[in-house]
Structure 1
Amino acid sequence: MHPRRILLKSGLALAATVAAVLAAPGIGALAQGGAGKPVRLILPISAGSGVDAIARAAGPALGKAFGQPVVIENLPGAGGITGAAAVVKAQPDGSTLGLVSNNHVINPSVFRTMPFDAIKDITPISVLGSTPLVLVVNPKVPAKNVKELVALLKAKPDGYNYASSGNGTIIQLAAEMFLDEAGVSARHVPYKGTGPMMNDLIAGQVEMGVVALNAVAPHLKAGTLRAIGLCGDKRSAAAPDLPTIAEQGLPRYNVAGWFAVIGPAGMPPAEVKRVHDAFARAFTSPEVLEAMKKQGTMIDPGTPEAAASFFRSEATRYAALVKRANVKVE
C-alpha cells in the first residue's frame, strides 16, 4: 500500500493549554484525601464520545462501589493530553483519577514533545474493557458497504472528507489505516472532540468517519448516519447484522477502542487496590454489565500489573503504526 503523510497541528496553542493545566493550583481541589472523600474522575475527551457514554452509564455504580461521590468531568483537548495532564498533576491519594483510551499511549508517538511521560508519570490501575469502532458515512454518500465506498474514493481521489475527533487520535488513525489498506485517499477534517465531529457528520459537512459504536448507535437507528462496517476482527452482539470491514475484503484491518483507569504516579499500593476493587465491582455489577451489553462494550477488568504491561505493549504497537502511516507533527 502507498505510504501516507499526515501533518498534525500542535503549535503554541497546545503548549499554552497544557501549561495552564499543569500550573493550575486548584487541580485536585475537589477532593483532598483518599477514602471517604469525593473522587474526581477526569475524562480527557469531549461529551458524546464512546468513553463518555461508558463513564456516564457506570457513574451511579461507581458511587456505590466507592461509598463516596464520584464527580465525572470532561476535560478534552490536545488529543487527550490536557485531561491526562490534570491527572498527572494531582495528588496520588486516589482523589483524582482518569479514564483514558488508546490516545493516551498514541500521543508520545504523534507529538514531538509531551509535558509528561505517558507511562512513567501515571499509576496504571485497570484496563476495564473495549468498545467496537465503526466506519460510518452520511446518508448522502451513495455507498452501503466497503466495496462501494472504496469504488467511490477511487473514482474521485481527494473528493471526499473524513472527520476525526482530533489530530493524532485513535479515531484519525483508524480512518487512515482504512484508507491505507484500501489504497485510497480522503481529506482529513479534525474536530475538537467526538460531539462536534458527529454534528457535522450528521449535517453532511463531512462525508465519513470512524466512531465508537456505542456513541453512534442512536444515529444508525434513526438513519441519520449509515454504517459501512465494524473496525474490529469480530462482529458485535449489539449489531450482529453489521459485518466487519475485514470480512468485506480488507482482512488485515483490525482496530478496537479500549479504556482504562489511571491515577497519578506514586499512588500507595493500598490505595491502588482500593481504587481497582471499586472499579471492578462497579463495572461487573449486573446493571452496568447490562448497560455495556446494550452498547456493545466488552467488560473484563484487569489487574494493575496487567494494565502496566498492556500500556507498554500498546505504546510500542502504535508507535509502529504511526511510523507506517508517516504521521508527523507540524
Structure 2
Amino acid sequence: MTTISAGRRALVRLTGATLLAAPLAAFAQAAVPSDKPIRMVVPLAAGSTVDAVARAIAPGFGRVTGHPIVVENVVGAGGIPGTSQVVKAPKDGSVLGMISSNHVINPGIYKSVPYDSLKDVTPIAVLATVPLVLVVNPALPVKNVAELLAYAKAKPGQLNYGSAGNGSTLHLAGELLVSETGIDMKHVPYRGTGPLVTDLIGGQVQLGFVSISQVAQQVKAGSLRALAVSTQKRSEVLPDVPTLAESGVPKYSFDAWIALVGPAGLPKPLVDGYADAVRQAMASPEARTAIAGQGLAVLNVGPDAAPAFFQTELVKHQKLVKQSGATLD
C-alpha cells in the first residue's frame, strides 16, 4: 500500500484548488462589478429551444462566474433587435447573447442588418445543434425518402412543404433537400412552428422539416410519419429513423444550432473563462435534462474554433438563402 506524505497531500490539495480557481481568475480581469448580474439576452421568444437552453444553464453559469444571471427575451425580426443589444453592450462581459442559426441567415433575408454577423460579436461557444426531422402526413403514400423522391418526381410542383417562415431554418432545410435531389416542391411559409405542425397533421401541407422535440410525440402516436433526420447521425430520441444520408441523399446534412456570444472585443481571458463556465454549466443535471428534453446534440466548439464555425455556417446559409429567394423586408 502506497503512503502519501503530509506535504504531498497538501500539494495535491493546493494544485486542485489552483485548477478550480484558474477559470475564476479570468473574471477578476473583467470590469463587471462582483455584485452586478450578467444579462443573458435571448433574441427569441420565451419557450423556444434557445430560451430553454439559456434558462437551463443560467444557474450553473452563475455559480461558476460568481454573478447572478438574468435571462432576458428580446424578440422580433429574426433576433436582430436582441442581438443588436449584445453588439452595443460594454466590452466587460456584463451582457451576453444566446443566439441561434438565424444569426447567419439574417444578412441574406433582411435588406439591412445593423451589425456584421462575424465582426461585431465574440463567439464564446457553440453549445448544441438542433436536429430536424423530415415528416409527412400519413395520408401521403410514401414510407421512406426513396418513395418520397419518386413521388415528387412523378408529380412535379404538386407537393407542398411547410416551414416556420421565409428564411427560417426549416425553410432552408427544405431548400437543401430540393438542391440535393432536384425535386420540385412548393414552399408554404407559416408564422411559427405551431401552426405548421397543426397543418401537417391536418393535411393542409404534406411534408416539412421540424425540430425533433416538437413532433416526437406526434411521430410516436402516428399522426405524423418520420422519414429521415437531417443530421449526420441518428437521433437518440428517434433511433429507428434513418438519416437523409442513409436514405439516398449522401451529401445532405443540416441542423440548427445554439451559441453563446458577446460583443466584439471581449478580453481573451474573460472569453476563455466564460467558455469554461458554460462547459461546466452544460454538464449540470438541470442542463442535461433540458438538453435531453429538447432532443439536442451537444457540441464542444470553444472560442478558438467558434469563429471558423460561424464563417462556414454563414457561407452555407447565405447560399441557401440566395437559392430560396427568401426576403423579409
What band does the TM-score fall into relative to the shorter chain? 0.7 to 0.9
**Structure 2 residue aligned with 1:238:** 237
**Structure 2 residue aligned with 1:100:** 99
* CA-to-aligned-CA distance 1:255-305 (integer Å, 9 cap, x gap): 122221011223333443343232111112244335434544222333222
Alignment of structure 1 residues 197-276 onto 2, 5 Å:
197-276=196-275
8 Å contact kept, 2:49–2:294: no
Q: CA deviation at 1:118?
A: 0.7
Q: CA deviation at 1:245?
A: 1.4
Alignment of structure 1 residues 290-329 onto 2, 5 Å:
290-293=289-292, 295-323=294-322, 325=323, 327=325, 329=327
Pair 1:38 & 2:37 matched: yes
Q: Distance in 1 between matches of 2:234 and 2:42?
A: 27
Cα–Cα, structure 1 residues 255 and 96, in superposed 2: closer, same or farther, change >3 Å? same
Based on CA coordinates, which of the two structures has the bigger radius of gyration? 2
Name the amino acid aligned to 2:258: F
**Structure 2 residue aligned with 1:136:** 135
Which deviates further from its counterpart, 299-308 or 240-249?
299-308
8 Å contact kept, 2:165–2:190: yes
8 Å contact kept, 1:49–1:215: no
Q: Aligned-pair RMSD on alpha carbons?
A: 2.9
Corresponding pairs, count? 298
8 Å contact kept, 2:60–2:284: yes
Q: Distance in 1 between matches of 2:187 and 2:155?
A: 15
Q: Distance in 2 between matches of 1:266 and 1:315?
A: 20
**Structure 2 residue aligned with 1:284:** 283
- Relative to the length of structure 2, the TM-score reads 0.78
Which deviates further from its counterpart, 306-315 or 151-160?
151-160
Q: CA deviation at 1:47?
A: 4.8
Secondary structure at 1:248's aligned position in 2?
coil
Name the amino acid aligned to 1:127: V
Q: Unaligned stretches of 5+ in structure 1?
A: 1-31
Name the amino acid aligned to 1:299: V
Q: Distance in 1 between matches of 2:198 and 2:56?
A: 22
8 Å contact kept, 2:124–2:262: yes
Q: Distance in 2 between matches of 1:35 and 1:222?
A: 50
Secondary structure at 2:217's aligned position in 1?
helix
Q: Unaligned stretches of 5+ in structure 2?
A: 1-30
Secondary structure at 2:301's aligned position in 1?
coil
**Structure 1 residue aligned with 2:83:** 84
Q: Distance in 2 between matches of 1:242 and 1:153?
A: 21
8 Å contact kept, 1:130–1:258: yes
Percent pairwise identity: 48
